[in-house]
């Protein structure tokens, strides 16, 4: 594998960390380690969302730049008499990406390796083999011979189960393959935006945020935004890459490497037109590449942020990513770096007058 530079080391640490909704402490601690040097203070809300505050002008507008800490995964619900683990999905999964995949069960006694199993196809009828295998019929095999043995190893109902995958820099070193890009890339963007602003003057108060429980209903964004009460909300997340075989532009317009995605519409929010135009104007001014995208299904933390208090002008800026909500996804380093640059420059150009104008558009 290619030698990891400082940025790749941070991305590896973030994606390697294990944290499904409601179990984000490990990811929280990694993000805190990286963002703390650039923040005036780092606090948490009552659910565990990380809130890093950086003051440019203490009377300036509050800008919330939010990724989410959690990743899709599973939870142990039952251990059967033979030691096989029954589980619940936590976040959205498609059954066809799950079978025979390695997972890590995080127990009070340490991590345990397992594999998602099913009946072998050899015993299924031809008709059944043609159908997607149902998640409810899957199990996790940890090599235990009994329920007692599994429990002796530390496994308990409620334990989180996380996909296992090694962070990989591809032959094209701009292409990065890892678990949990959704949404550790958003956390990385929030970290780097604060890093860029460390020695810059700007007339705002910026919050770099790692929200909890996005994958189960944009929950942490709701509580974190309640704490911050922002004037502007920017959610940073992954989006759909439309550049793999079989996808038409009608289904997904974006291509990896052609800039961050400006989300026009998704199932959680109609983007704020004034803020959207302001961001696009900055991108045009500085020749930062960008792409438009609309996603009829799914949403981002902006869906919760924009409904805070009296309403917050909000926008989602996302990174075109292949194979999200599976064990491994791929994105392009240039898109990540351009998203950081764009959001940094937007913040430097934002002030109270700009926000007031946006609010009344």
pLDDT in tens, 287-318: 999 999 998 888 999 999 999 999 999 999 99
* SS3 label, residue 57: coil
CATH 3.40.630.10 in the chain, residue ranges: 6-71+179-359
Q: From 3.40.50.720, 3.40.630.30, 3.40.630.10, 3.40.50.1980, which CATH number describes the 6-71+179-359 domain?
A: 3.40.630.10
**What Cα–Cα distance (Å) separates residue 120 from each residue in 11, 81, 124, 194, 326?**
37, 20, 7, 50, 22
**Which ranges constitute the DSSP H helices of the chain?**
6-16, 25-35, 126-129, 147-152, 181-197, 219-228, 273-285, 302-305, 333-349, 352-359
CATH code for the domain defined by 74-163: 2.40.30.40
Pair of tokens at residue 193: 């935006």
From CA 354, how far away is CA 252, in angstroms rounded?
A: 32
Taking alpha carbons only, the member of 284, 226, 231, 220 closest to residue 68 is 220
- What is the pLDDT averaged over residues 165-194? 98
CATH 2.40.30.40 in the chain, residue ranges: 74-163
**What is the reported pLDDT for 166?**
96
Considering the entire predicted model, what is its pTM?
A: 0.96
The angle formed by the CA atoms of residues 140, 107 and 163, to the nearest 5 degrees, is 50
Q: Tell me which residues are annotated as active site.
A: 214
What percent of the chain stands above pLDDT 90?
87
* SS3 label, residue 150: helix
Does 361 have pLDDT greater than 90? no
Maximal CA-CA distance, the chain = 69
Backbone angles phi, psi at 204, to 5 degrees: -140, 170
Confidence of residue 251 (pLDDT cuts 50, 70, 90): confident
Does 332 have pLDDT greater than 80? yes
211 and 68 Cβ atoms separated by less than 8 Å: yes
Confidence of residue 67 (pLDDT cuts 50, 70, 90): very high
**141: buried, middle or exposed (CB in 10 Å: 19+, 13-18, 0-12)?**
middle
* SS3 label, residue 312: coil
User: What rounded mean pLDDT belongs to the chain?
Assistant: 95
65: which residues sit within 8 A by CB, 6+ positions away? 189, 190, 193, 206, 207, 208, 209, 234, 236, 343, 347
- What is the pLDDT averaged over residues 155-177? 98
Between 252 and 44, whose confidence is greater? 44
167: which residues sit within 8 A by CB, 6+ positions away? 11, 12, 15, 16, 176, 177, 178
240 and 299 Cβ atoms separated by less than 8 Å: no
- What is the pLDDT averaged over residues 117-128? 81
282 and 349 Cβ atoms separated by less than 8 Å: yes
260 and 221 Cβ atoms separated by less than 8 Å: no
């Amino acid at each position: 594998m290619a030698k990891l530079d400082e940025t790749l080391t941070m991305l590896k640490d973030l994606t390697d960390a294990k944290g499904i909704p409601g179990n984000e402490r490990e990811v929280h601690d990694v993000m805190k380690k990286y963002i703390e040097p650039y923040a005036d203070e780092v606090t948490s809300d009552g659910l565990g969302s990380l809130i890093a505050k950086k003051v440019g002008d203490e009377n300036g507008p509050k800008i919330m730049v939010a990724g989410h800490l959690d990743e899709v995964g599973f939870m142990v619900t039952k251990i059967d008499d033979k030691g096989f683990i029954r589980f619940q999905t936590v976040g959205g999964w498609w059954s066809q990406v799950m079978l025979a995949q390695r997972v890590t069960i995080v127990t009070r006694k340490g991590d345990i390796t397992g594999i998602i199993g099913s009946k072998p196809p050899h015993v299924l009828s031809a008709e059944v083999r043609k159908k997607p295998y149902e998640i409810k019929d899957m199990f996790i095999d940890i090599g235990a011979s009994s329920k007692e043995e599994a429990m002796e190893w530390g496994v308990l109902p409620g334990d989180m189960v996380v996909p296992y995958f090694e962070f990989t820099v591809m032959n094209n070193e701009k292409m990065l393959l890892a678990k949990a890009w959704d949404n550790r890339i958003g956390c990385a963007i929030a970290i780097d935006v604060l890093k860029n602003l460390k020695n810059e003057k700007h007339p705002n108060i910026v919050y770099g945020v790692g929200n909890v429980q996005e994958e189960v209903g944009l929950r942490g964004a709701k509580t974190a935004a309640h704490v911050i009460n922002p004037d502007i909300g920017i959610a940073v997340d992954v989006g759909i890459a439309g550049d793999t075989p079989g996808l038409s532009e009608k289904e997904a317009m974006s291509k990896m490497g052609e800039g961050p995605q400006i989300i026009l519409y998704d199932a959680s929010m109609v983007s704020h037109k004034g803020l959207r135009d302001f961001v696009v104007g900055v991108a045009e001014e500085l020749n930062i590449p960008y792409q438009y995208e609309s996603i009829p299904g799914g949403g981002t933390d902006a869906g919760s942020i924009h409904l805070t208090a009296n309403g917050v002008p909000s926008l989602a800026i996302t990174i075109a990513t292949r194979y999200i909500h599976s064990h491994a996804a791929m994105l392009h380093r240039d898109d990540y770096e351009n998203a950081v640059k764009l959001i940094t420059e937007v913040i430097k150009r934002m002030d109270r007058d700009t926000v007031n104008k946006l609010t009344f558009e």
